[in-house]
Chains A and B, each alone.
Chain A
């Protein structure tokens, strides 16, 4: 039996090698060649029109063609949503309103999260088929720019005067090669927020603004019982190894991510000091790596008091009209004045947006939907749930002007804001940073190795993608 299997395997391998050698010149052996003619596939969910089968045996087996479906389905992939809140709003209010103008249009939503966004979008582009509108993050234009439909024809100033209301910086994040590729739909700045009442209990009177203060705060405010964290001095949006915060810290020291020749700068002093600081701060919260993490949150960690400070947008904070805000103070960012006298706090601003991929067969309709969704009223309503800012100025009404956290955030953004953009090859970059930073923070490797690994792997990624020679 074994011998037989070996024989079969050998045949397999031999065939494989033959194909591999022959394939060098020959075209790819595509199994699809058996598939008869296969013109543009109709979206299967809307119009079932099976193409002619391979070697169609009997005519009777083929289904009768359904009557040509009039209605069009617009598919929208959403990643910025709050379950049971913004999704129901979209489905039950926005779509019916839109359908009053376009009665034959059906809008279907797909919700993904940031962990699965990349593979979903990659899949769409690979298949050349998928959602007609994609919700992308701040830094995505450089990755997908070429694969997105140019929209100046529909959203440019002549076609749609409203576009003038949009904050120019937010439009920058959706522009590629002189063409708008989508519409911004939320602006979320990130800063440090602390519960001053809890700070005062441990003898600190204001949120930290420097590296040294941050470490002191983290150490004093943390409570550990029975080898488990009961209260963390600080929690960032992810855990204490937030790659986006790392970038914010590099920026605040005056560093950049790329050199003039396009190489990354993780061999710089700024990158080193920022990472060292994050490690020290983690040790201030977790004296060693045997401490069990915080239990699952039962609401915002600022509200339930399991964290004294958080770094992030208002999404992870209590609702903007919660009375708890009277006890919460802000810090725009952390500096290192002892070593970098010029360092300035950086408030990272995320401009998430809605793009229309070039493969879409309903580009014009998608643009119409974007215009509808991008009205001042809709953007205000949507961003309220998030505690984020509408990207158009005439939508800065209501909660934006009336609530204290929004007022403070908008001041901080005006003074210290820097867009989270020009982050090249971000899916892979994120992967590298998360992997290496967590290895460093959990003592699997030291600072030098970590920085070397990031620098080398990211250089490779940038080379593969053609950013550097």
Chain B
């Protein structure tokens, strides 16, 4: 009983391997034939065969698992397709509805945009700070590096995310209980927490206003003024706090960005600093004029990779919000919404349209990054 599902997949794995071998040989042979007709030397023919044969697992996989699905899904995005019924051509209707009528989609877009605008810089700043700390070559560097990187490994695991759900409980969760306890002992902490609450709620109310087209909530918060001493963040409870909770998780797992920075820091020659020190540059000046510019390629890499990752965010909002439909809209990301539309409401055409809008956004933003990089990314000190 139990083994049959394993055996079934193992059998298919064997078949797949056979298929790959045969198709690789076929692709290689065809390539060699073409090369021969073009009059390539024997060595070139040999390399052509080997090259295509070795690359063909990817080429074949690309055709089956990427190109065909892409073509199919572009077509479906112009249809109304509710499985198991066949797709029906509806022209641009899905796109029009998404961009003009669907308020959930607009909410998802604004949320994703918010996470990029606030989450990404937060992640990068913390990553840079951690990298600078580690770069002091302290004792136990290996341990600290491990501790800072471990959340990356665990960060997407739903089991760990559930631990966060527990810790985020607004009333008796670990986070708020500690904030309360600390705030009661140290007045400064209490004051800082309240200031933090004020800033977060104001910015979030502004963004919610952007989604809804009215700013009543923002006015309400402004009218209420600075939060009273007993206030705590309402992490997963309030629509104002959903996105900050997700950002906290993003910052928590900024380890790979940190490693990129660390590597770049290691690559900066010591002489630069020594020379600057001799010239009498202060620590800050050295950081500002040597470290930061020389880190810009790493910053660029983190920016592009981090941005794509946030645009495709799924696991965190899924696990954090799955069971609280009341705040879900505040945390919808584009991918989460795509998933709901497709698999919850069984609308393949609509889901396909969402995925293409997302792809276009990612392309535009990535290309824009590449275009802008000449302005600020320095590969050498000027």
Contacts and interface: CB of A to CB of B under 8 A. Distances in A.
Interface of A: 1-2, 5-6, 9, 12, 15-17, 19-20, 23-24, 28-31, 34, 44-48, 50, 53-58, 61-63, 66, 106, 115-116, 118-119, 122-123, 125-128, 226-229, 238-239, 241, 288-290, 292-296, 427-428, 431, 434-435, 437-439, 442-446, 449, 453
Contact of B4 (A47, A53, A54): A47
A48 B4 contact: yes
Contacts of B14: 61, 63
A1 B371 CA distance: 11
23 contacts: A2-B367, A20-B75, A23-B78, A28-B86, A31-B72, A45-B1, A50-B12, A53-B16, A61-B17, A62-B15, A126-B83, A227-B232, A238-B326, A241-B326, A289-B234, A289-B238, A292-B171, A292-B232, A293-B171, A293-B234, A435-B325, A439-B329, A443-B220
A228 B367 contact: no
Interface of B: 1, 4-5, 7-8, 10-12, 14-19, 21-23, 64, 68-72, 74-78, 83-84, 86-87, 89, 103-104, 169-172, 176, 180, 208, 212, 214, 216-217, 220, 224, 227-228, 230-232, 234, 237-239, 322-323, 325-329, 343-346, 363, 367, 370-371
A28 B223 CA distance: 57
A48 B3 CA distance: 10
B343 A228 contact: no
Contacts of A20: 74-75, 77-78
Contacts of B18: 53, 56-58, 61
A29 B70 CA distance: 11
Contacts of B326: 238-239, 241, 434, 437-438, 442
Contacts of A431: 325
Contacts, number: 183
A226 B11 contact: no
Contacts of A24: 78, 89
Contact of A295 (B169, B227, B322): B169
Given A435-B329, A442-B239, A122 B345 contact: yes
A417 B12 CA distance: 55
Given A45-B5, A293-B237, 10 more contacts: A16-B70, A20-B78, A23-B78, A23-B89, A50-B15, A63-B7, A288-B224, A435-B104, A444-B239, A449-B214
Given A19-B74, A63-B14, A444-B217, A128 B172 contact: no
A128 B84 contact: yes
Contacts of B208: 444
Nearest to A113: B323
Given A57-B22, A442-B238, A16 B171 contact: no
